[in-house]
Amino acid sequence: MSESILDSKGRVLIPKELRIKARLTTGSKLKLSLEDGNTLKITKSMPPKRFIEELEGAIKKGSSVKREDPLKLKEIWT
């Protein structure tokens, strides 16, 4: 686990080793949420096009799983 300090402008530095592991680069979009009142969760955002590409082929033709709009799935996913 790494530690960081919140500066006077509310910025937090994500340590380099974590940025590399999470494949974060300058301009990466992140989502922040508060869980259980004291846990800050940072999640890398995924553009809809990439989300669709990553899910493509996950459900095979003829499967009993109902076909759904990928963007609706992204809403559910996030």
Task: Kindly report, residue by residue over 7-53, the tens digit of the pLDDT.
Answer: 999 999 999 999 999 989 999 999 999 999 899 999 988 777 777 77
Residue 6 lies in a domain: no
pLDDT band at 77 (very low <50, low <70, confident <90, very high): low
Q: Are residues 34 and 15 in the same domain?
A: yes
Residue 4 lies in a domain: no
CB atoms within 10 A of CB 46: 16
Residue 62 in this model has a pLDDT that exceeds 90 = no
Alpha carbon 64 to chain centroid, angstroms: 28
Give the residue from 31, 53, 61, 45 showing the smallest Cα distance to 70: 53
Q: Are residues 63 and 35 in the same domain?
A: no
β-sheet bridge partners, residue 31 = 43
Q: Are residues 41 and 20 in the same domain?
A: yes
pLDDT at 60: 75
Q: Are residues 41 and 51 in the same domain?
A: no
How many domains does the chain contain in total? 2
Q: Please state the pTM of the whole predicted model.
A: 0.56
Give the residue from 54, 31, 43, 61 showing the smallest Cα distance to 70: 54
